[in-house]
Amino acid sequence: MGLPSNGGHEVYFRAPQIIMVLILMVSTSVHGAHFDDAFQQTFGGERVKTYGSGGDHLSLSLDQYSGSGFTSKKDYLFGRFDMQMKLVAGNSAGTVTTLYLQSDPSTGRHDEIDFEFLGNASGHPYTLHTNVFGEGKGSREQQFRLWFDPTNEYHTYSIVWNPRLIMFLVDETPIRVFLNHEKHGVPFLKKQPMKLYSSLWEADDWATQGGLVKTDWSKAPFTAYYRNYNVDTARGGKWWTHDLDANSRRKMRRIQKKNMIYNYCQDAKRFPEGYPTECKHYKF
Ligand SMILES: *[C@@H]1O[C@H](CO)[C@@H](O)[C@H](O)[C@H]1NC(C)=O
C-alpha cells in the first residue's frame, strides 16, 4: 500500500493545519487495513473478531456449534488480492480454512478461485487445495504441501486475476497459473465480478485422510488469524500486466515438482475420455 505523497517536506514548516491534513492522510492509508471497513461477517456471530490497532487484525473461530466467515463489501472485476494468514495450530484435523473469490451464486454461472487449507492431526502437514471454476465448470483441483508450517507465523496468500491469467502465490512465489484459454474454447472468468471470502469450517467427513481422522472437539475453539489484507484494482499496475516471466516460471516449476501432491491434469483415471482442454495446453 502506498502512502500518499506529501508533495515536499517544506510544508511541514508552514502551517500546522497542513501537518494535520498530512497526518490524517497518512492514517487513512494505514487504517485502510481495517477489516471492518472492507469486510462484513457472513456467519458465525462472535466467532468473527476484529482486534488490534483500530481493527487491523481479524480472527475466525470454529467450535461444535458453528464455523465463521467474512466477505468483502465490494465486488471486483479483476485485481490482486493479498491476505496474511496464520492457520489453526495443533490438531486441526477436519478443519478447513478458505480464502476465495466468488461470483454472485444466484447467477447459476458460478465463477470461483479457491485456496482451501485442509487441517491435519498434530505434527502432520496441511494440504493446500486450489481450484478454479469458470462459468460453472470446476473440477480443476491442484494440491500442494507447503514448504513451511503455516501455523507458526503469518504467510501471504495472493490471487492475481487479470484478463490473461489467474495466478496463485504463496509468499510471492507463484504455485499455480490458470491461463486464459478462450481461444481454445475454455471459458475464462472475466464477465462476472466477484467478492473475496474467507471462512473456517468443519469438514471431517472428507477433509482429513478421506474422513478417517475426526475433528477433536476437546481442542475447540479452533482459530485462524488474519492481517494486512490488500486489494489492488488499479488497472495498468504490475498485477494487471502480470505475465509469467522466465524467473517466476522457473520458481513455479520448482514448487510444482517438489510440492504438488495432486494435479487434475495428470489424473488419467478421472478423465477416461481425455484431459480437459486447458490441460492439453499446459506447458509448465
Ligand atoms: C495429513 O498428513 C498425512 C501424512 O502424515 C498426509 O498423508 C495427509 O495427506 C495429510 N492430510 C491432509 C488433509 O493434509
Question: What DSSP letter does each residue of 15-77 carry, written as one string?
Answer: -HHHHHHHHHHHHHHHHTT-HHHHEEEEE-GGGEEEESTTS-EEEEEE-SS--EEEEESS-BS
Q: Give the pLDDT confidence score for residue 237 in this predicted structure.
A: 83
Is residue 16's pLDDT more than 60? no
Tell whether ligand 1 has an atom less than 6 A from the beta carbon of residue 203. Answer: no
Find the range with the poorest average confidence among 44-53, 225-234, 247-256, 275-284.
275-284
Is residue 218's pLDDT more than 60? yes
Q: How far apart are the C-alpha atoms of 115 and 143, rounded to whole Å?
A: 10
Q: Which of 46, 112, 135, 273 is catalytic?
A: 112
Q: Write the CA distances from 9 to 3, 24, 83, integer angstroms.
A: 14, 16, 33
Q: Give the pLDDT confidence score for residue 200 in this predicted structure.
A: 98
Find the range with the poorest average confidence among 2-11, 43-52, 200-209, 229-238.
2-11
Q: How far apart are the C-alpha atoms of 189 and 140, rounded to whole Å?
A: 14
Find the range with the poorest average confidence among 19-23, 50-54, 111-115, 251-255.
19-23
Residue 243: pLDDT band by 50, 70, 90 thresholds? confident
Q: How far apart are the C-alpha atoms of 279 and 228, rounded to whole Å?
A: 34
What's the gap in Å between 121 CA and the centre of ligand 1?
8
Tell whether ligand 1 has an atom less than 6 A from the beta carbon of residue 124. Answer: yes
Which has more pLDDT, 243 or 1? 243
Q: Give the pLDDT confidence score for residue 14 in this predicted structure.
A: 42
Q: Which of 151, 209, 261 to mutate to test the pocket of ligand 1 (most atoms within 8 A of CB)?
A: 209
Tell whether ligand 1 has an atom less than 6 A from the beta carbon of residue 213. Answer: no
Residue 266: pLDDT band by 50, 70, 90 thresholds? very high
118 Cα nearest atom in ligand 1: 13
Residue 265, SS3? helix
209 Cα nearest atom in ligand 1: 11
When the pLDDT of each residue in the chain is averaged and rounded to a whole number, the result is: 87
126 Cα nearest atom in ligand 1: 14
Q: How far apart are the C-alpha atoms of 83 and 99, rounded to whole Å?
A: 8
Contacts of 58 (CB under 8 A, 6+ apart): 35, 39, 48, 49, 50, 51, 70, 225, 226, 227
Q: What is the pLDDT of residues 33-64, one digit of tens each?
A: 689 999 999 999 999 999 998 889 999 999 99
Q: Give the pLDDT confidence score for residue 207 in this predicted structure.
A: 61
Tell whether ligand 1 has an atom less than 6 A from the beta carbon of residue 120. Answer: yes
Overall average pLDDT of the 202-231 stretch: 85
Q: Give the pLDDT confidence score for residue 22 in this predicted structure.
A: 42
Counting residues of the chain whose pLDDT is more than 70, the rounded percentage is: 86
Q: Which residue, by CA, sits nearest to atom 7 of ligand 1?
A: 209
Question: Does the annotation mark 112 as catalytic?
Answer: yes
Is residue 102's pLDDT more than 80? yes
Nearest in space to 74 (alpha carbons), one of 190, 185, 233: 233
CB–CB of 124/149 below 8 Å? no
Residue 278: pLDDT band by 50, 70, 90 thresholds? very high
What's the gap in Å between 123 CA and the centre of ligand 1?
10
Tell whether ligand 1 has an atom less than 6 A from the beta carbon of residue 96. Answer: no
CB–CB of 228/83 below 8 Å? yes
Greatest pairwise CA separation for the chain in angstroms: 74
Q: Which residues pair with 173 in a beta bridge?
A: 170
What's the gap in Å between 93 CA and the centre of ligand 1?
9
93 Cα nearest atom in ligand 1: 13
Tell whether ligand 1 has an atom less than 6 A from the beta carbon of residue 97. Answer: no
Q: How far apart are the C-alpha atoms of 189 and 137, rounded to whole Å?
A: 11
Domains of the chain, CATH where assigned? 28-280 (2.60.120.200)
